[in-house]
Chain A
Amino acid sequence: MTTLRTTTPAGVPTPPWDPPAPRMAARAEAATKVYGHGDTAVRALDQVTVGFPAGRFTAIMGPSGSGKSTLMHCVAGLDTLTSGKVFVGDIELGSLSDRQLTVVRRTRLGFVFQAFNLIPTLSALENITLPIRLAGRKPDRAWLDGVIDTVGLRGRLSHRPSELSGGQQQRVAVARALASRPEVIFADEPTGNLDSRTAAEILTFMRRAVDDLGQTIVMVTHDPVAASYADTVVFLADGRITDELPAPTPERVLDRMKEIDR
């Protein structure tokens, strides 16, 4: 970890090196999410307590229906918990109004989705600066240039999404997530629609964003190869955290997944 990571968006100086107890960029405390009522109730999240350390790349894995997307949506303020708390930085999201949540999303969070990531009427550059402009701010030119160069989109800025390949579209999405210097970027299966080579490209960008720019990324995936780009993999099954794997490799991730299936 080197350059650029000297201040948070709030301007509070943070220690440049990993502290003994890493600061959590986002976390959940006893998060429980129940869909439906009575007999048909489904516990998508069951007393989940988890933290996502700042400046780290965390992957959330689990089989379909394990609650991984629900966890991400709740921590990102897109969905509300039945009980428990979620925090972004020190802000408890449960107490916020829709407007306040929106402001948190556009100032402190970034998003990369599996598909339909971009607004078709806007150019690549306009898409990248969208959250900043929605907040009514001016983009930080130098930072923006850095981001654009990092994802290698310099020559494509005036193109519309329909004129870009799938990989390029996802790169624009990553750039958009980075552009507002959020505290956390949430990525929901960002490579789910891409071939393995393009997927590797995107994951490399995300990795570099963490290493070079000090970004915090939380990524939901079911692909062991994608998960292996993370610093830590959190495993989820039946709405509960079952395991955590530091320094993952595809093989080890696959092994753990098999264990869960058993």
Chain B
Amino acid sequence: MSGRERGSGPSGRERGSGPSGRERGSGPSGRERGSRMSAMVTVTRKGVWAHKRRLLATCTAVVLGVAFLVGTLVVGDTARKGFDTLFVQANDGIDAMVRGDLELGSDEERQRNPIDAGVLDVVRAVDGVAAAVPSIEGTAQLVAADGERLGGDGPPTLAGNWIDDPELNPYRLVEGRAPAAPGEVVIDRRSSREGDLPVGSTTTVFTPEPVTVTVVGTATFGDVDSLGPTTYVAFTLEDAARHLMGAPGRLSGVAVRAAPGVGEDELVARLARVLPEGTEAVTGTQLTDEANAQIESDFLGFFETLLLVFAGIALLVATFSIYNTFSILVAQRSREAALLRAIGASRGQVLRSITAEALVVGVVASVLGIAAGIGLAAGLLALLDASGMAMPDADLTVRTGTVVAGAAVGVLVTLVASVAPAVRGSRVPPLAALRDVALDRSGTSRVRAVLGVLTTGAGVAVVLSAALAGGDASRVETAAVGAALCLVGMVVLGPVVARPAAAVLGAPLPLVRGLSGAMARGNAMRNPRRTAGTAAALMVGVAVVALFTTLAASLKTSIAETGARTVRGDLVIASRDFSGAGLAPSMVEQVRALPEVEAAVGIGFGTVLVDGEAEDVSVADPEGLTAVVDLDERAGSMEALAADELAVSEHKADAEGWVLGQRIPVTFGDGATAELRVAATYGARDLLGDLVLPTDAYAPHVQQRRLDVVGIRSAAGVTTEEARAAVQRVAEAAGAPDVQDRDEYIDSVGEEVDQALAIVYGLLVLAVVIALMGIANTLALSIHERTRELGLLRAVGQTRRQTRTMVRWESVILAVFGTLGGVGLGLFLGWGLVESTSSAAGIGAFTAPVGQLGVIVAIGAAAGVLAGVRPALRAARVDVLRAISAD
């Protein structure tokens, strides 16, 4: 290959001067004798090398997207492996577990029916059982030395009985002794450290009833301080039964160790033959599998899917960015392509050359992205570690599949993004080499306009049809299809509207920034396809931001409306814990006894089986219920619900064909079934759902009764503040100091939406950063292309400041164009989704968050300034002489 001896040439030349027009002609000269293939390879290789800085900028978008993707997968796999190790360890010595055979409940709260303590003897009598110990599992929340509750923000607050058989207990005593007397507990070492609860200290645990305990020992889970981020409290068997099982004589299960020579399956088979009804036996392996499946469905799967969705958004934005960069590079090098064609390169060869360049970028970026992703995962896990949420097994798990997925996605994204530019580049006629083809002024063809309008129109129509029809869940899918169509349509339409849009957006600029402003506007208008491509990346990112903002605002409005309509009480005590012990029912009695209080109602949530189907129910004290909530009673009286009655929403009653007085068979968590009579119906189902059970009907069947909300109505003649002060004293003693008035409560529920929104914003930052880098990259390329023009401007008297102003405002126009498109799209889709889900998901009221969207546009503009900083500096630094005299 004759090009080889010149191999070192470009590196030396390029290092100093950066990419310039000078290398363009040098590619093919003197290479005709080499084979055609190797000649094109040389051209590609030198092309990549000559534009390495620009390509590196292109790479960055892919690198970030792939890093996000790989990082997510690695964190997920590492956590999964860590949990698996933990569960295997936890169940290590357990060959079989005997337990209740009915499982009920939602993700946060699952329970099995308890078994009778007598089962223990039955199990012990089975041949092949080496050891069998009673096991009680529940939740209890520790109070730290400073009075704050420990944990409860997601990871469970575990509690149980201390098991003396070390082979059946994954916890190891490291200090003190096992609990022996009432009120004695062993806690995990991490809680002891973080809660400042050393052996010998006395504190309270909430089950959710407050229990005073003395820490007599600390334990490690295997050899780590705690089971992941959970907390652990171990009582004596008697205490555990009293506090966690609701009554003595009940167990969660019996942990069994097999005699030598008896396998797990054999042991379970033998146990199954003698177990009474309502109990089952499972192997230790199955126990581990179930735990893994549960953590997957509760937490990991959701977590990973969520992150992958945002990685996908980031990659989509990256695709637009890369597409744009390649378009510009190809346009700028159309002369080079034409020259290659003129001296005999075929269209296919030019196409392959450009595609090969994209391939190189994709491979390099993917490799960097995979490395960065693994680093990101390591950093994230270290961060979790530092914040006390240590994952059990910190060894990074990088599966081959993860690496393959990262590489495949990175290369594919780059190739897909470069197809159109490559085809366009190969279509440059050879004659173009002899002419001056500077701008690609494509982008406003009639076909594109028609196609764009049709696609967008179809998308809008689909969304409208879904929104206006309203109703069930399938509408949401329809709306999603419409959303995708809208997005595609707007991207297609982009170049058509870019010019007028830039003209309109830039219209105030000449007035504000004079000539520099006018020229910024002109520059933004001169190349519609480029403007649109750059803005599209930002549009996608911002559309998602705006969509979530709109959904959140609508949700908050709905919450506020529901609250305003249904909450009648003056004061509310709400459980602050996400996964903690909740509020103690005994507190309600004390509050109700206050003279300042007319009515106090404890409300909790649970799950029952109706006709074999799991149904979420609200559990409330009937007495005083209508004083604290307005459920829009239709028939019967909710205040008068007896222990064998329930209230049903009118919606549910209609759907099921239930009538007043009808008896409904309800199975509770402990396996008992009762026929409850429909004694009342109500209209407002957004606060307490479709089924309301009186406390007396539900409480006897649960092991640890907890309340989520206590609604309070103050007595006549007592001000809310007086009542609040009185309630506050009682609540504080019960460890629930957050007494809110009605408005505060309604606001606080809305704030939870804001917290979720903040997380979504955080995850979208990357996509928006990629989009902004795209703007900076496009501007940098445009400026490189306009070197001569900038030099001329400087020669005839443009100051550096004016040059910077001009570039900066061009950047702002691009950013605002993209942001506005995104906000418009997001708002519309938000409306469509809200309207199409309305009745199903409880988001009844569409709200346009005008203020927040305004802030997003302002941030978009500010980000435009930021993205323009470097290009502006570079433009201002253009060497006047070189610009005007360079050939």
Contacts and interface: CB of A to CB of B under 8 A. Distances in A.
Question: Which are the 8 A-B pairs with shortest beta-carbon distances?
Answer: A106-B797, A121-B522, A133-B515, A131-B797, A134-B797, A102-B799, A131-B796, A116-B788
Contact of B789 (A99, A103, A120): A120
Interface of B: 438-439, 514-515, 519, 522-523, 525-526, 788-789, 792-802, 880-881, 884-885
B795 A99 contact: no
Contacts of A98: 800
Contacts of A102: 794, 797-800
Nearest to A102: B799
Contact of B795 (A78, A120, A135): A78
A137 to B, nearest CB: 11
A136 B800 CA distance: 15
Given A99-B799, A116-B789, A78 B880 contact: yes
A119 B797 contact: no
A113 interface: yes
Interface in A5-21: none
A247 B258 CA distance: 120
A121 B526 contact: yes
B169 to A, nearest CB: 78
A134 B515 contact: yes
Given A99-B799, A106-B796, 9 more contacts: A106-B797, A106-B798, A119-B792, A121-B522, A121-B526, A130-B515, A130-B793, A131-B796, A176-B796
A69 B795 contact: no
A117 interface: yes
A99 B798 CA distance: 9
6 contacts: A110-B796, A118-B792, A121-B523, A130-B793, A134-B796, A176-B796
A107 B796 CA distance: 9
A105 interface: yes
A134 to B, nearest CB: 5
Nearest to A104: B797
B519 to A, nearest CB: 7
B547 to A, nearest CB: 35
Interface of B is mostly: helix
A73 interface: yes
Nearest to A100: B799
Given A78-B880, A134-B802, A122 B796 contact: no
B523 A99 contact: no
A254 B515 CA distance: 45
Contacts of B794: 102
A103 B798 CA distance: 8
A31 to B, nearest CB: 16
Interface in A86-126: 98-99, 102-103, 105-107, 110-111, 113, 116-122
Interface string A131-162: 10111100000000000000000000000000
Contacts of B438: 120
A79 B884 CA distance: 12
Given A69-B885, A113-B884, A122-B522, A133 B514 contact: yes
B800 A130 contact: no
B881 A73 contact: yes
Interface string A35-50: 0000000000000000
B522 A105 contact: no
A116 B885 CA distance: 10
Given A113-B884, A116-B789, A107 B797 contact: yes
B797 A135 contact: yes
Contacts of B514: 133, 136
B797 A105 contact: yes
A74 to B, nearest CB: 10
A237 B515 CA distance: 42
Nearest to B521: A121
A121 B880 contact: no
Contacts of B526: 120-121
A103 B796 CA distance: 9
B796 A111 contact: yes
A134 B516 CA distance: 8
Contact of A79 (B519, B525, B881): B881
Contacts of B799: 99, 102-103, 134
A87 B575 CA distance: 82
Nearest to B801: A99
Contacts of A133: 514-515
Contacts of B880: 78
Nearest to A110: B796
A98 B523 CA distance: 25
Nearest to A119: B789
A107 B797 CA distance: 8
B506 to A, nearest CB: 12
Contacts of B797: 102-103, 105-107, 130-131, 134-135
B792 A99 contact: no
Contact of B796 (A69, A120, A130, A136): A130
Interface string A163-196: 0000000000000100000000000100000000
A105 B800 CA distance: 13
Nearest to A108: B797
Contacts of B884: 78, 113, 116, 188
Given A121-B523, A121-B526, A134 B798 contact: yes
A105 B802 CA distance: 14
B793 A119 contact: yes
B584 to A, nearest CB: 73
A131 B515 CA distance: 10
Contacts of A119: 519, 789, 792-793
A69 B795 CA distance: 15
B565 to A, nearest CB: 58
Contacts of A113: 792, 795, 884
Given A116-B884, A136-B514, A121 B796 contact: no
A99 B800 contact: yes
A188 to B, nearest CB: 8
Contacts of B522: 121-122
A106 B801 CA distance: 14
Given A69-B885, A102-B800, A134-B802, A122 B788 contact: no
A121 B885 contact: no
Nearest to B791: A116
Contacts of B796: 105-106, 110-111, 130-131, 134, 176
A121 B502 CA distance: 14
A121 B525 contact: yes
